[in-house]
Amino acid sequence: MEEKVKIVLISYLCYNMPYGGRMLKQKLELLLELQEIDIKIDELESKKTEIPHMLDEQKMNIKSKQDEGMLIKKENEELQKSRKMLEIELESKNGELKKLQSQLYSVKTNKEYSAIQQEIGHLKESISKIEEDIINKMLEEDGVKKKANTIQSEIKKEEDKLKEMEEKCNNEIQKIEQNLNALKLQREEIIKKIEIKELLDTYNNIRQNLGGVGIVKVENNSCKGCFINLRAQTIIEIKKYESIIFCDNCGRILYI
């Protein structure tokens, strides 16, 4: 009921101004201009909102690389720890070997000598295996170090890219802000010309609820907002400009 009263009031105010129905047509034309500006403002605001997301995506790329770098670092630490344990074991085995070799000079029987020689043989095999394992660990460490250097280089590259993006984004935001300020000034000028608060409120309410479009032109006897064919009587009423006409389907303000 309140909305209907508002519509009647808008129509009455426009029709009782100088030039009657022609005044309503002028107000609707101004409303179309206002909507074009509002659409541009919406587009710029949306673009402005998207810019930080682009930076967030790049920051996530860097974080992913850093996490990968941490895993490589941990892998290298584990390899070093394993190698050091092998080196400690090797040192212990070499100590045992020297001890056995020194015992060869104090044995009294061939049987004891043969037994020690056999132990020495087993120990040398064990030492050889440990030395081989140490070499393999060192080779693995070299490979991991190369991976670490590669990932650090990639992180540096992505961080440099982020700095460039931040600079470009800041410049882009400044341009958007300048354009927004200019458009908002134009918007205020048009609002002053429209004058009728009830008309602006109705437009803003429809626009807010219907995807940013509050007023649409009629083309080929169809509403350009929802593309439904309009009744012949509706077209006639629009052309009279005696009252605000809304689309029966989508509810937008109609203009020819």
* CATH number of the structural domain spanning residue 58: 1.10.287.1490
Q: Is residue 220's pLDDT more than 60?
A: yes
Q: Is residue 252's pLDDT more than 60?
A: yes
Please give the model's pTM, rounded to 2 decimal places: 0.66
200 lies in some domain: yes
Q: Give pLDDT, residue 10.
A: 52
Report residue 78: phi and psi, to 5°: -65, -40
How far is it, in rounded angstroms, from Cα 109 to Cα 103?
Answer: 12
234 lies in some domain: no
At 218 the three-state DSSP class reads strand
Average pLDDT of 191-216?
94
φ/ψ region of 121 (left if φ > 0, alpha if ψ in -120 to 50, else beta) reads alpha
Q: Is residue 14's pLDDT more than 80?
A: no
246 lies in some domain: no
Q: How many domains does the chain have?
A: 1
Confidence of residue 3 (pLDDT cuts 50, 70, 90): low
Average pLDDT of 179-185?
98
96 lies in some domain: yes
Q: Is residue 2's pLDDT more than 80?
A: no
* Structure tokens, 92: 């212990």
253 in Cβ contact with 216 (< 8 Å):
yes
Domain that holds residue 164: 2-213
